[in-house]
Structure 1
Amino acid sequence: MSPETERYLTAAAVLLTYAAFCGLVLWRRRRKHSLAPIGGKTGNDPVLVAYASQTGFAEEVARRSAEALQEGGVPARLAPLEALDGPALAKAGRAVFVISTTGEGDAPDHATRFVRRVMGERAALEKLDYGLLALGDSSYARYCAFGRQLDAWLQTQGATPLFDRIEVDDGDGGALRHWQYHLGKLTGGPAAPDWAPARFAEWRLVERHLLNPGSPGGPAYHLVLEPTEGGAEWQAGDIAEIGPRNARAALDRFPPYFTEALRDRMLPDDPAELAGASPEQARERLKPLPHREYSIASIPADGRLELVVRQARHPDGRLGIGSGWLTEYAPIGSPIALRVRSNRSFHGPDGGRPMILIGNGTGIAGLRAHLRARAAGGRKDNWLVFGERTRAQDYLFRGEIEAWAAKGILARLDLAFSRDQERRLYVQDRLREAADTLREWVAKGAAIYVCGSLEGMAAGVHAALLEALGQEELERLAEDGRYRRDVY
């Protein structure tokens, strides 16, 4: 036997042994994280994972959701919707709902009792925070109708959405990945591999530059990507799913047979950290990475796909998985795994309505795409309300925004730089100052689009809109598709 053959056989034996070890660890971990029973406790109050399922798919997604929460260190308990009532929901504190629709917009059979006995009554849910996944098929006239009905009922009872309702059309993998992305944010821990991995296309990173040098906040980068083959279509409001990787150069310090095995793997940390890692640590770091989502900041007519990405860092100083790859590790000219996901809930309004665009920070990306589309279409009835930390360092795309104002593309521009004065000033404060104008625009048919941070900004803007327009009017706007959000 040649030395070369012996080396490869040894490597194969090591890999087989390692795989067996990983299987044992995974089995033990699954036992450790078995689902908590209804009403059970596992250290602190679990998140309620409720489902309404006709064919079993919603129940399976709910179970996987509960497992994902527990794998992330958050206790979870699983319950069919009919096992719940108003007091149980009020006591839950946090809940996620996986809800299917059957027939012509009906609740699944087992949930009819909940609809009749619970949704027909008043419930005090002011202390309930929730997320909702609605499963449906858009070939039916009343697509996701029961999920939408439950979402509206929860809000009228005072419950607060953790994020906007996610709708899944016929098992769409992109929407399920988006749901999993939000579950990961609930745990605050390392994200798990995608349930339905995206089929990424290869794009190339052609430009990257810092938008806010000297900012008191995290660095924000403007990225430009081009497809390596053919073109790509999307609309303003759509999302880019990115498959992050890490610096390949660090792999050079490992033996050839090891780097070959890692060449196409997505590594969550700098590969150098694998040196000296225990098998358990190595297994965790070799898992395929979950995708990351970013609002697209351009339109197809621009001939390129643009993103605005803020660097995120872990408490120990390590860069975030997606932002680190895009802003630091990926060399200019390198391939980027990317998939465009349609985001119908944030597409532009029908009928050429006026638009009120509200956002902060990197939320300018989604708003910029809409404004570029409006400018290309000659629409000038646009109002931008944008906020960041300082005018000098954080006025993202200042030249472009001020050019739109000068040309009349922006009929109105309101800016809020929170740290430029002693009293903090935010976009919701600008909305309150312009409440009369806001009501006038809405009366003329304007649609309101919000893009940016879920924590702080989105809730503050929603409260300001409630004050100016009232609960009934804001609900009507949402039902008519005139109040849309892309918040994260």
Structure 2
Amino acid sequence: MTNFIPTTAPFSEDQRAWLNGFFAGLTGMQTEGDPAATIQALGIDAGAAVAEPEPEEDFPWRDASLPIVERIELAEGRPPERKLMAAMAQLDCGSCGYVCQTYSEAIARGEETNLTLCSPGGKETKQMLKKILAESKDADGAPSGQMGSGNAGPSNGVAAARNGKAAQWSRNNPFSAKMIESRELNLEGSAKDTRHVVIDLTGSGLKYNVGDALGVLPSNCPDLAMKLIESIAADSQITVSTPTGDTKTLLQALCEDYCLKDPSDELLELLAGRIQDESAQETLGRMLEDGVPDGFDVLDVLEVTKGVTVTATEVIETLDPLNPRLYSIASSMKRVGDQVHLTVGKVVYEREGRVRKGVASTMLSDRVGAGETVRVFVQPNHAGFTVPENLETPIIMVGPGTGIAPFVSFLQERAESKSPGNNWLFFGDQHEAFDFLYREELEEYHANGLLTRLDTAFSRDGERKVYVQDRMREQAAEMWQWLESGAAFYVCGDASRMARDVDKALHDIAETAGGLSAEEAAAYVKNLAQSGRYHRDVY
């Protein structure tokens, strides 16, 4: 194959191979083609292509465990795009369609106006982004970002190109895929409802690698949308314009296009300017100053200001867009073909006398039946979270709860590839009898030797709560041997607690089993990450 991308260009071998293949297919040229002519024909600056990479910039805030205030302090004195980057969750999870750096740079350039895309950062990140943009505008008069539908981000173009004939499918133009099943994984007696969701990609041309995520465009519960419409005494069938310029009924727009979970400052300000009740005004003022309480949604705010006169158009203009949800893929295409499997934890709880529902999780578990469609796209993993290229490399996987999802795909991939490398899985949940997700499949892998080790931690089965990080410490000596033999370490799941506790356990193992000082252990773990042997898919 013709090498369109020079070996001096700042790409990895995999990236260079993919780009060479892409340009070869794009131009239709054979191996006898002239790379220089091709580069010229494509309008690529050959000088730029061979330029030496810039020295790596120091990003001291690149630590997901640091509170956002500390990250912002570390970015003090940096340009606005770096302060915006420090406000991101630092996970490079791809849920925004970018990575942290490119999302912040797109906002700073004014190319991306949606400030709600960092789902791991949530309200905290959104509020900080707005503050940084406002300060930047005050400082130099440059326009600040505005809420809106935004664009899909550069990573969707990469995903589309990689998928060849599936280039048309992206978060802005998702594929309507048929649901095959949504099967309960927990057994009767469990306090949880976790689903194994199977979706048919036949006809889409979509391809994914293990470690990638599936983007799902959710829809709100129609009952919630109707309650909101009733609270402002509007007609559900009136016509409104959506952020993308489409025309829909009010009910359809609220179901498909707007976030009904987190009230925006713009909504609070609109209602505060209309309500006459002093108590309600004080409540809204506290929310504007201190933030909206956790679990407080748009309908809650409208109920606080019941009787206020606002139009449907005024309300929806203040609402944030309804963003896609990303789910770690729980299957290998080598095993399942044109299907994609997900592990989805259904979210339902009661607050203030009203049942609250997770938007995407209840859609996938309750509101979409077999044979009906869901809108999806593939989101490639940006951080190297996939099985090692070297099939002999041992891997250690830590995935409690729904964090098991990518490791199901890893094991399927290793089985289908007949990888000789050892595999060690740590799985945890509440009760072994009810919550041992994928038990039969995992125990079969353990019995046939694919899973070299399977360690479990069921926190509610004993007098003392035991978690995956406790099992890691119990096996510290053997874990250290695996790491020293070149094992890659992966963790998937909750970022705020579990991933942090697992990281602490990893440091402790380096000290206790490796005999390192605290400083040496920190350097050792850092080197694992820098050398591509420590990967996290956390949310």
SS of residue in 2 equivalent to 1:317: strand
Cα 1:457–1:170 change in 2 (3 A) is closer
Structure 1: segments with no counterpart, 5+ residues: 1-101, 109-114, 120-124, 135-146, 155-160
Give 1:344 shift: 3.3
**Larger RCO (CA under 8 A, 6+ residues apart):** 2
Give 1:289 shift: 0.8
Q: Assess if the C-alpha contact under 8 Å between 1:355 and 1:446 holds in 2.
A: yes
Q: Assess if the C-alpha contact under 8 Å between 1:194 and 1:291 holds in 2.
A: no
SS of residue in 2 equivalent to 1:337: strand
Q: Residue 104 of structure 1 is aligned with which of 18, 38, 53?
A: 53
Q: How does 1:63-212 map to 2 (within 5 A)?
A: 104-106=53-55, 129-130=70-71, 163-165=90-92, 167=99, 180-184=118-122, 186=124, 195-197=150-152, 198-199=171-172, 200-212=174-186
1:333 corresponding residue in structure 2: 371
Q: C-alpha separation between the residues in 2 aligned to 1:107 and 1:405?
A: 43
Cα 1:341–1:481 change in 2 (3 A) is same
Overall identity of the aligned pairs, in %: 31
Cα 1:261–1:455 change in 2 (3 A) is same
**Which amino acid in 2 is paired with 1:206?**
I
Q: C-alpha separation between the residues in 2 aligned to 1:330 and 1:433?
A: 43
Q: C-alpha separation between the residues in 2 aligned to 1:183 and 1:241?
A: 18
Q: Residue 257 of structure 2 is aligned with which of 266, 269, 273?
A: 266
Q: How does 1:244-283 map to 2 (within 5 A)?
A: 244-246=218-220, 258=239, 260-262=248-250, 263=252, 265-268=256-259, 278-279=310-311, 282-283=315-316
Q: Residue 442 of structure 1 is aligned with which of 455, 459, 483?
A: 483
Matched, 1:354 2:354: no
Q: Residue 373 of structure 1 is aligned with which of 413, 430, 448?
A: 413
Cα 1:474–1:248 change in 2 (3 A) is same
Q: C-alpha separation between the residues in 1 aligned to 2:400 and 2:72?
A: 23
Deviations 1:47-85 (A, max 9, x none): xxxxxxxxxxxxxxxxxxxxxxxxxxxxxxxxxxxxxxx
Cα 1:378–1:384 change in 2 (3 A) is same
Deviations 1:218-264 (A, max 9, x none): 3111111012523321111101111111356988x966555953546
Give 1:365 shift: 0.6
Q: C-alpha separation between the residues in 1 aligned to 2:537 and 2:418?
A: 24
Give 1:196 shift: 2.5
Cα 1:194–1:234 change in 2 (3 A) is farther
**Which amino acid in 1 is paired with 2:374?**
I
Q: Assess if the C-alpha contact under 8 Å between 1:193 and 1:290 holds in 2.
A: no
Matched, 1:289 2:322: yes
Q: C-alpha separation between the residues in 2 aligned to 1:350 and 1:186?
A: 37
Q: How does 1:414-429 map to 2 (within 5 A)?
A: 414-429=455-470
2:355 corresponding residue in structure 1: 317
Q: C-alpha separation between the residues in 2 aligned to 1:103 and 1:379?
A: 37
Q: Residue 229 of structure 1 is aligned with which of 187, 197, 203?
A: 203
Q: C-alpha separation between the residues in 2 aligned to 1:354 and 1:107?
A: 30
Give 1:422 shift: 0.5
SS of residue in 1 equivalent to 2:424: strand
Give 1:331 shift: 2.7
TM-score by length of 2: 0.56
Q: C-alpha separation between the residues in 2 aligned to 1:186 and 1:298?
A: 33
Q: C-alpha separation between the residues in 1 aligned to 2:220 and 2:175?
A: 18
2:423 corresponding residue in structure 1: 382
Cα 1:473–1:383 change in 2 (3 A) is same
SS of residue in 1 equivalent to 2:220: coil
SS of residue in 1 equivalent to 2:406: helix
Q: Which deviates further from its counterpart, 396-405 or 374-383? A: 374-383
Deviations 1:185-213 (A, max 9, x none): 53699x97653242312211110111114
Q: C-alpha separation between the residues in 1 aligned to 2:191 and 2:71?
A: 29
**Which amino acid in 2 is paired with 1:279?**
T
Q: C-alpha separation between the residues in 2 aligned to 1:227 and 1:363?
A: 23
Q: Assess if the C-alpha contact under 8 Å between 2:459 and 2:465 holds in 1.
A: yes
Structure 2: segments with no counterpart, 5+ residues: 1-50, 61-65, 76-81, 94-98, 107-111, 130-146, 153-170, 241-247, 262-298, 511-520
What root-mean-square deviation, in Å, do the aligned CA atoms of Structure 1 and Structure 2 show?
Answer: 4.2
1:15 corresponding residue in structure 2: none
Q: C-alpha separation between the residues in 2 aligned to 1:327 and 1:267?
A: 21
Structure (1 or 2) with the greater strand fraction: 1
SS of residue in 2 equivalent to 1:425: coil
2:472 corresponding residue in structure 1: 431
Give 1:319 shift: 0.4
SS of residue in 2 equivalent to 1:473: helix
Cα 1:437–1:235 change in 2 (3 A) is same
Q: C-alpha separation between the residues in 1 aligned to 2:67 and 2:357?
A: 37
Q: Assess if the C-alpha contact under 8 Å between 2:215 and 2:326 holds in 1.
A: yes
Give 1:347 shift: 2.0
TM-score by length of 1: 0.62
2:333 corresponding residue in structure 1: 300
Q: C-alpha separation between the residues in 1 aligned to 2:92 and 2:236?
A: 48
Residue correspondences, number: 348
